[in-house]
């Protein structure tokens, strides 16, 4: 069917659109026999694009948000192997997808006689690869991957259904059209496929194309990640563009890049405002750059530069305030990350907004709430007067068996970092903000659940506290929801303590005979007891609803089994647990 397996195995039965204003509902009409995935709103919210899947092919559909009427926009079937969602552009007039080659030819067939012996080479470098269970094994399988991956970018006019094929045929893995549709970022597999790592660890190349398919420039290149020491080292990192994205408020690209050596201001190294002890000074200048069409070499504009390395940058709706992240928290929880704000009309002053430490998740300040610019791209949501931003996070407590996590939103003044808590979940329910309907956060959309209450979507008027339930979700397995659930700690012979969750059979009561048990677990990797506790035990949500999903083994509780789900951690040095 020319699609990724998840689009067959994990697609949805349909879509329903619910108004946040009054809770009214619109069912999206679907063709008979279709499963759907990848639903994506147009920038103006008037349309919904999605992929409809049939036994032998997938097609692009667009639905009207007012009445739910949908139609197949494009006659041709899609190539949904790597690019598995539609991409809107031109304000909702156009959708970018990937199509199979126009003259594709038949699928390769395996020959009766191998074309060569099977040859594998070791490498001289130290290698920390995990053991992948499913890899390419022959030249024929490589040929199959190339055949299923190779496609062509297409721009589809939503109104007429006319499509324009753009550029060369490539093994395209990602597409990102500019809001105006005049340019597209295209990433594709660029090197030889590997026998020792998955396809998506192959070398890639990202290019900037115009809408005629002409290559404007190469934005990034990555080598195959085959696990040798140094594979993750970015030797050319100083020269590479980083965090490349479309500028949310202006035509063109926004990215980070270190200044050339001959432009380095060594005298100013370490002088950036807001720096902390875990932010070592660099001898180089790091820059935020804007590159406007027609993307002529050397025409980039420096918006901001600093002597301290930046990890990422976001802007507000005005495009005049930058929000810069520095530092990194590693997989093992080490490190510190800080968030800073810079007004472009006063670039000499950085305002420290928040600091987070990997070993102190309980005091995590949260992440910026995002909104959308007039160009339909994500920006940091600020208050109407532009004086504050909002940080969304979750508060945790010392005894998770007694106190459940509580999501929150804080209003933080940009100039002073003074903080005010606008919203915090109740202690009895898990209440998480899923939508914000205005820039002063007067109206919120919440996801609300408890141990005994099925999750619902609720609109909250924050000043008055009035709540209106918008969804009408149903518990389809109340027998299992209402049976006995327990979570407790066990200590194994090596002294490592971990949690076990148990669901007793439907109908079982304390004092009944011990039932047979099904053990269902997947071992996960940790570096220490402390890391395990901070990532699992301390984050346990006692207010979470015990919902069943497709692979929930708790279904066996209907058949007389206790279902035991133990954590059996694999513990070791980072990257070497196995």
Q: Three-state SS across 82-99?
A: CCCCCEEEHHHCEEEEEE
Beta bridge partners of 187: 174, 206
Question: Strand 388-395 and strand 406-413: pairing?
Answer: antiparallel
State the pLDDT at residue 134: 87
Q: Shortest CA distance to 322 belongs to which of 353, 284, 293?
A: 353
Distances (CA, A) of 301 to 257, 290, 499: 12, 5, 53
Q: Which residues contact 121 (CB under 8 A, 6 or more apart)?
A: none
* Contacts made by residues 361-365, CB under 8 angstroms, sequence distance 24+: 361/333, 361/396, 361/534, 361/538, 361/539, 362/395, 362/396, 362/397, 362/398, 362/538, 364/393, 364/394, 365/339, 365/391, 365/393, 365/410
Residues 397, 402, 404, CA angle at the centre, nearest 5°? 55
Q: Are 390 and 411 in contact (CB under 8 A)?
A: yes
Nearest-angstrom CA–CA distance, 387 and 417: 10
**3-class SS letters over 290-317:** EECCCCCCCCCEEEEEECCCCCEEEEEC
Nearest-angstrom CA–CA distance, 58 and 151: 14
For the chain, helix, strand, coil in percent to 5 are 10, 40, 55
Question: What does the CA dihedral 118, 124, 127, 131 come to, rounded to 10 degrees?
Answer: 20
Nearest-angstrom CA–CA distance, 260 and 238: 8
Handedness of CA 546, 547, 549, 554 (dihedral sign): positive
Q: Which residues contact 211 (CB under 8 A, 6 or more apart)?
A: 155, 164, 166, 181, 182, 183, 184
Nearest-angstrom CA–CA distance, 450 and 428: 7
Q: How many CB atoms lie within 10 A of CB 513?
A: 5
Q: What is the per-residue DSSP string for 139-198?
A: HHHHHHHHHHH-EEEEEEETTT--EEEEEEEEEEEEEEE-TTSSEEEEEEE-S---SSS-
Residues 129, 133, 134, CA angle at the centre, nearest 5°? 110
Q: Which residues contact 272 (CB under 8 A, 6 or more apart)?
A: 306, 307, 308, 350
Distances (CA, A) of 339 to 48, 78, 424: 34, 41, 22
State the pLDDT at residue 93: 97
Question: Strand 47-53 and strand 151-157: pairing?
Answer: unpaired
13: exposed, middle or buried (C-beta count within 10 Å: 0-12, 13-18, 19+)? exposed
| 3-state secondary structure at position 220 | strand
Task: Please list the pLDDT of the chain residue by residue as tens digits (578 residues).
Answer: 999 999 999 899 999 999 998 889 999 999 999 999 999 999 999 999 999 999 999 999 999 999 999 999 999 999 999 999 999 999 999 999 999 999 999 999 998 888 888 887 777 777 777 778 889 999 999 999 999 999 999 999 999 999 999 999 999 999 999 999 999 999 999 989 998 889 989 999 999 999 999 999 999 999 988 876 555 544 445 578 999 999 999 999 999 999 987 766 443 443 444 444 444 444 579 999 999 999 999 999 999 999 999 999 999 999 999 999 999 877 666 789 999 999 999 999 999 999 998 777 778 899 999 999 999 999 999 999 999 999 999 999 988 888 999 999 999 999 999 999 999 999 999 999 999 999 999 999 999 999 999 999 999 999 999 999 999 999 998 999 889 988 889 999 999 999 999 999 999 999 999 999 999 988 888 888 988 888 888 888 999 998 888 789 999 999 999 999 998 889 988 877 87
Beta bridge partners of 324: 313, 340
Q: Are 395 and 403 in contact (CB under 8 A)?
A: no
Q: Shortest CA distance to 354 belongs to which of 306, 378, 389, 312?
A: 389
Residues 116, 120, 123, CA angle at the centre, nearest 5°? 150
């Amino acid at each position: 069917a020319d699609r990724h397996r998840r689009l067959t195995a994990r697609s949805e039965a349909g879509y329903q659109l619910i108004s946040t204003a009054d809770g009214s509902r619109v069912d999206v009409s679907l063709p008979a026999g279709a499963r759907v995935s990848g639903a994506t709103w147009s920038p103006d919210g008037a349309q919904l694009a999605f992929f409809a899947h049939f036994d032998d092919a997938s097609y692009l559909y667009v639905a009207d948000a007012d009445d739910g009427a949908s139609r197949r926009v494009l006659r041709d079937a899609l190539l949904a192997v790597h690019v598995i969602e539609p991409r809107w552009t031109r304000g909702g007039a156009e959708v970018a997808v990937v199509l199979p080659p126009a003259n594709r030819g038949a699928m390769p067939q395996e020959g009766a006689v191998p074309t060569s012996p099977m040859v594998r080479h070791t490498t001289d470098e130290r290698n920390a690869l995990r053991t992948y269970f499913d890899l390419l094994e022959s030249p024929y399988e490589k040929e199959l991957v190339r055949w299923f991956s190779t496609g062509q970018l297409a721009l589809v006019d939503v109104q007429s259904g006319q499509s324009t094929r753009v550029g060369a045929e490539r093994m395209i893995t990602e597409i990102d059209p500019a809001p105006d549709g005049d340019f597209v970022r295209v990433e594709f597999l660029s090197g030889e496929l590997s026998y020792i790592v998955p396809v998506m660890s192959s070398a890639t190349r990202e290019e900037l194309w115009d809408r005629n398919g002409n290559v404007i420039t190469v934005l990034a290149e990555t080598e195959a990640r085959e696990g040798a020491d140094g594979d993750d080292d970015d030797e050319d990192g100083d020269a590479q563009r980083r965090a490349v994205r479309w500028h949310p408020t202006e035509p063109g690209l926004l990215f980070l890049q270190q200044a050339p050596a001959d432009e380095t201001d060594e005298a100013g190294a370490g002088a950036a405002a807001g720096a902390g002890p875990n932010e070592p000074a660099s001898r180089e200048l790091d820059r935020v750059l804007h590159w406007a069409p027609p993307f002529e070499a050397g025409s980039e504009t420096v918006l901001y530069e600093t002597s301290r390395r930046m990890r990422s940058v976001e802007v507000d709706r005005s495009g005049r305030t930058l929000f810069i992240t520095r530092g990194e928290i590693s997989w093992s929880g080490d490190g510190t990350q800080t968030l800073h704000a810079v007004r472009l009309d006063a670039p000499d002053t950085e305002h420290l907004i928040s600091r987070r430490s990997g070993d102190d998740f309980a005091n995590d300040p949260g992440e910026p709430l995002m909104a959308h610019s007039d160009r339909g791209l994500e920006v940091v949501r600020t208050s109407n007067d532009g004086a504050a931003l909002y940080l969304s996070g979750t508060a945790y407590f010392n005894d998770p068996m007694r106190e459940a996590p509580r999501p929150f939103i804080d209003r933080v003044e940009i100039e002073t970092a003074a903080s005010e808590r606008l919203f915090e979940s109740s202690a009895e329910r898990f209440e998480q903000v899923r939508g914000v309907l205005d820039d002063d956060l007067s109206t919120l959309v919440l996801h609300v659940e408890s141990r005994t209450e099925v999750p619902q979507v609720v609109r909250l008027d924050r000043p008055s506290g009035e709540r209106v339930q918008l969804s009408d979700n149903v518990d389809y397995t109340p027998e299992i929801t209402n049976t006995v659930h327990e979570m407790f700690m066990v200590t194994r012979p090596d002294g490592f303590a971990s949690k076990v969750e148990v669901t007793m059979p439907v109908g079982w009561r304390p004092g009944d005979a011990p039932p047979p048990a099904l053990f269902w677990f997947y071992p996960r990797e940790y570096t220490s007891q402390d890391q395990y506790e901070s990532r699992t035990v301390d984050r346990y949500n006692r207010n979470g609803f015990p919902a069943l999903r497709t692979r929930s083994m708790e279904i066996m509780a209907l058949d007389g089994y206790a279902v035991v789900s133990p954590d059996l951690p694999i513990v070791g040095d980072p990257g070497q647990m196995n």
